[in-house]
Amino acid sequence: MALRHVNAVIVGAGAGGGIVAKELAEAGLSVVLLERGRWHSYADIDGDELRSQRTPALGNAYGPDDERYRRVVQDHAGEWRLVVPSHWLYNNNAACVGGGTLSYGAMAWRFMPEDFRMRSTYGDVPGSSLEDWPISYDDLEPYYEKAEWQIGVSGDDSQNPFAPPRRRPHPMPPFSYNTEGRLLHDTARRIGLHPFPIPMLRNSVPYAGRPGCINNRTCVGFACPVNAKNGSQNTVIPAALATGNCELRINAVVSEVHIDDRGRATGVSYFDERDRRQTQTADLVVVAASATETARLLLNSRSRLFPNGAGNNNDWVGRNLQGHAYCGAFGLFDEIVYDDVGPGACVAVCDYNHHNDGIVGGGLLANEFIRMPYLFTGRRPPGAPSWGRAHKDFQRTYFRRHASVIGPIQEMPVFASRVEVDPVVTDHWGIPVARISGHRHQEDRRGTDFLSTRAEEWMRAAGAHTTWKVGQGGGPTASGGQHQSGTCRMGDDPRSSVVNRYGQVHEIDNLFVADGSLHVTNGGFNPALTIMALGFWVADYITREWTGTHFR
Amino acid sequence: MTPKHIGRRTFVKAAGTAVGSTVLLPACASSTRGWRFLTAAEATVVDAIAEQVIPADDDPGAREAGVVSYIDRQLAGPFEKHQQAYRRGIVGVQQAANAMFGGDFESLRWTQQTAVLRTMERNDAPGDVWQSTSARSFFELVRDHTMQGFYGSPRHGGNRDFVSFRMLGLDYPRIVGQNRYKMFPGGS
């Protein structure tokens, strides 16, 4: 039996897709939101570190599962590896209602104006496809504001002299510091930095009918037991459903976007919870499946006019895959600096975002989320024993006497770093899997050397008796991970981008992308709030310009 | 590690009854009698390796924490893909132990066991098995699984009686929402 035709079908109920669903549904469009995962709650894993989305030793808590999903990824030695989602090479984000926003750390950064103008600010970087965005910070500012107020952010930019201009303050006051945060804040001030509380997509006070944060240790990598962490699953998706215009279908694995012989999207095919193939027709198709899976879906959508995948006649779909080059420093202290007040990360500086001599872009520095006991077993100074009495003694002594500041260096996009579809390997449903290959740019290493040196200075000034650097950019594998982006670049020139400034696929005007795939560059910041702002931006264009049969 | 303002027992009791927070109990922290994948002989070897990785001192080690129960349970589940690595690796450990000290691994003296594991870590352990398999990879696999079994949630068969959480001064059973009330000032 054919499914009822709708105005819009949206693929992916994460940061971008959830927002587009709500905006379109509120505008009166009939919407079907397809999500390959399901609903989850904290109780599913009960704070179990071995199932956490951060350390999935026994499998991902919030999907995808290791049984039905796989990818082919080029490893350090250039070998193709078949990997399951809980393997780090898979570059997983999540597969559930809320996507990454269910279990993220929830930092709520706005990119800075320079992040949208990287080429203009820094010039050509050989070997990189570094470019300006077709839109500016000013274009996106009102949409950042929508994200902050509708999803819910706690913060206070007045303490950050490098914060981009804003018209409206954050809706909730900032979080206070824990013991480690206070120490690092005071130290940073003393050495001339400009520390401030990290803006967070968490409730510092009750907001929108949900309670304030209870400062769990089990925060990043976990859903929130009291719903004080704000994602699409507890904000815009319920709002979309409440309109009566949006139907959410979970366990729906989309295999293809259909493009007809006139070059128009007509809908999608997906496998439902009983692995039956369904086809949902729609006037509009919005793909928001994250940078890897969005690219894979477009590439798997072959048609007469687009034999190499939807919107891919110029071979740009899947290109410029980026993430972040995380780096920083650890420090060991004589005194206890740990107070078990979660989530841990609370203080940051933006002194190292832009305008540092010789550094292209740079990145923020912030204290790290709480290192859970198993995760901490891998955090040791170079040369320290990895097992035995000394290892255990270190664990016991320093679990409460260490701190870390880390940050995401903005990676230089590389055209050769890409998502393709594998010619042989398929998943449980017979859909060709994503194949990831490429490398990171050497410039990233200059950035991480710089930032981790600054991090180590901060640690030393804070009184650490032993410090060491972690993380180095510019490696031989493609980047990606939870901050994956860039694979459907937005641009004004259809020859060197996949979508236009509104996320509309060049040549297919009723097919949109609304996730991190759009990012031309990925900022020196966690990208969630920018993905949300882009969701509002794309949805705003659709609701303003769609007449019901065509775009104005 | 005693809280300054309120005794732990008092707090747990208060949290469970008066305050009404959720006290999370592990599904099943006790080990099963029979093994699910390992043979009894294999379990003895894994147990001895795990104890080397996290030895007992003032605090319990891997043996008391039931790490081998954790590993055995996962080998019949999420670690199914590692079954052959264990089966073969344990044979290799015995080959190395016999070549180096003329006895099975579990019967060696503590320092001899350490020496066997160090040669494995350096990837130059003697034995036929290690001609075609990386001794270092197997050692690192068991080491990592031991860390999981000792420091992870008790719900999977390891960290029995919350031994590692006690050692680190973390709440046990884990209490959701404790930090709302700032009852552990200074973290001690």
Chosen for mutation from A45, A180, A374, A376 (greatest number of chain B CBs closer than 10 Å) is A374
Show residues of chain A in contact with B152, CB under 8 Å: 48-50, 57, 373-374
A73: phi then psi, degrees, rounded to nearest 5: -135, 140
**Is the CB of B188 less than 8 angstroms away from the CB of A336?**
yes
Give B59→chain A minimum CA distance, Å.
10
Q: Which residues neighbour A16 within 8 Å (Cβ) at sequence distance 6 or greater?
A: A288, A514, A515, A516, A531, A532, A534, A535, A538
Of A225, A341, A393, the CB nearest to B176: A225
Q: What is the average pLDDT score of chain A?
A: 97
Express each pLDDT in B110-126 by its tens digit.
999 999 999 999 999 99
Residue A2: its pLDDT value, please?
80
More confident of the two residues A247 and B14: A247
Q: Looking at the partner chain, which of A50, A66, A336 has a beta carbon nearest the beta carbon of B152?
A: A50
pLDDT tens digits along A139-153:
999 999 999 999 999
A:340-359 residues touching chain B, CB 8 A cutoff: 340-342
Higher-confidence residue: B159 or B180?
Answer: B159
Q: Identify the closest residue of chain B to A205 by CA–CA distance.
A: B180
Percent share of chain B, pLDDT over 90: 72
Q: pLDDT confidence of B180, banded at 50, 70, 90?
A: low
Which chain B positions have a beta carbon within 8 Å of A374's beta carbon? 147-148, 151-152
B148, B155, B167 member nearest A57 (Cβ): B148
Residue contact B168–A373, C-beta within 8 A: yes
pLDDT at A230 over 90: yes
**Which residue among B24, B174, B179 places its CB closest to the CB of A341?**
B179
Please measure the distance between the N-terminal and C-terminal CA atoms of chain B and give it in whole angstroms.
5
Quick: pLDDT tens for A89-116.
Answer: 999 999 999 999 999 999 999 999 999 9
Where is average pLDDT lowest: A160-169, A261-270, B5-14?
A: B5-14
User: Which residue carries 């009404």 as its tokens?
Assistant: B20
- What CA–CA distance (Å, rounded) separates A34 from A257? 13
One-letter amino acid at A509 equals D
- CB-based contact A67:A95 (threshold 8 Å): no
Specify the pTM. Answer: 0.94
Query: In this predicted model, what pLDDT tens digit does every residue of A52-89 receive, in sequence order?
Result: 999 999 999 999 999 999 999 999 999 999 999 999 99
Chain A 213-232, CB below 8 Å of chain B: which residues? 214-218, 225-226
Q: Mind listing the pLDDT tens digit for each residue in A190-224?
A: 999 999 999 999 999 999 999 999 999 999 999 99
Closest CA to A323 of A498, A517, A133: A517
Backbone torsions φ then ψ of A285, nearest 5 degrees:
-125, 130
Residues 370-399, chain A: which have Cβ within 8 Å of B? 373-374, 376-378, 386-389, 391-393, 395-396, 399
Predicted local distance difference test score (pLDDT) of residue B33: 59
Residue A187 — very low, low, confident or very high, per pLDDT cuts 50/70/90?
very high
Work out the widest C-alpha separation in chain A, in whole angstroms: 71
pLDDT of A6 > 90? The answer is yes
Measured distance CA(B53)–CA(A7) in Å, rounded: 59
Q: Do B174 and A47 touch (CB under 8 A)?
A: yes
Per-residue model confidence (pLDDT) at position B4: 41
Q: Is B69 on the interface with A (CB under 8 A)?
A: no
Vertex B164: Cα angle to B163 and B168 (nearest 5)? 120
Alpha-carbon gap: A394 to the closest alpha carbon of chain B (Å): 11
DSSP string, A137-186: HHHHHHHHHHHIIIII-B--GGG-TTPPP-SS--SBPPPPP-HHHHHHHH
User: Is the pLDDT assigned to residue B32 strictly greater than 90?
Assistant: no
What is the pLDDT at residue B64? 98
Are A329 and A381 spatial neighbours (Cβ–Cβ below 8 Å)? no
Chain B from 102 to 131: CB within 8 A of any A CB: 114, 117
Contact across the interface for B156 and A395, Cβ inside 8 Å: no
Are B179 and A47 an interchain contact pair (Cβ–Cβ within 8 Å)? Answer: no
DSSP string, A388-456: SHHHHHHHHHHTTSEEEEEEEEEPPP-TT-EEEEEEEEE-TTSPEEEEEE----THHHHHHHHHHHHHH
Task: For chain B, give the number of residues.
Answer: 188
Cis check for the bond before A56: say yes or no (omega within 30 of 0): no
- Which ipTM value was assigned to this complex? 0.95
B175: pLDDT strictly greater than 90? no
- B180–A214: do the CB atoms touch at under 8 Å? yes
pLDDT at residue number B172:
80
Q: Which of residues 148-177 of B touch A (CB under 8 A)?
A: 148, 151-153, 155-156, 164-165, 167-170, 174, 176-177
* Residue whose C-alpha is closest to residue A208's, from A244, A157, A172: A172
Per-residue confidence band for A30, with pLDDT thresholds at 50, 70 and 90: very high
Interface test with B, best of A50, A204, A337, A391 (most B CBs within 10 A): A50
What's the rounded Cα separation, in Å, for the pair A33 and A25?
Answer: 10
In sequence order, the β-bridge partners of residue A365 are A349
Asked whether residue A409 carries a pLDDT value surpassing 80, the answer given is yes
